[in-house]
Amino acid sequence: MLSNLSNPFYPEFVLAAERAARKAGHFLMVCNTDDDAEIGRAYLNQIAGTLADGVLVMNTDIATNDLLAIGAAQALISLGRAIPDDVSVIGITDIQLANQVHPALTTVAINTTAIAELSIERLIRLIQQPARTPEMVLAPPPALVVRASTGVRRSRAR
């Protein structure tokens, strides 16, 4: 269940999760709540009446920073600030758009595929062993992707 499928993080996550589930002999159904808790409850009620083995819930909050950083960069440029000469901008998640905007956004890349695979693996493990206590899962380490939106700040004339 996704909070908002329009979030650029989710398509890559859903594709990787679907492949991981299929590889393990399961199927993945995607539900989009459009950030509406009532829709989420309705989906959960519907899912509860099916043969679904488990539910994986993803929240938008983990993947909005690149979009916010791109918006901040555009706002700064419209105010006459030069990026990265006057101010550096950095995001997180490394969505595809981050490399397509101008200036290209420096970001912290998150291994979406590995996170999706780990999520599905843990969900299947809990389905197969319901009495098992869920364990802490550490996501793969992020990586800094340096692009044009960061640099050494030039000194300002006084």
Output the pLDDT for position 61: 46
pTM for the predicted model, two decimal places: 0.70
Domain ranges of the chain: 9-145
CA 113 to chain centre: 10
Output the pLDDT for position 153: 66
Query: Confidence band (pLDDT; 50, 70, 90) for 52?
Result: confident
Output the pLDDT for position 16: 92
Q: Is the pLDDT of residue 60 over 70?
A: no
On the CB side of 34, how many CA atoms lie within 13 Å of its CA?
3
Output the pLDDT for position 154: 66
The CATH fold assigned to 9-145 is: Rossmann fold (3.40.50)
CB atoms inside a 10 Å sphere around CB 82: 11
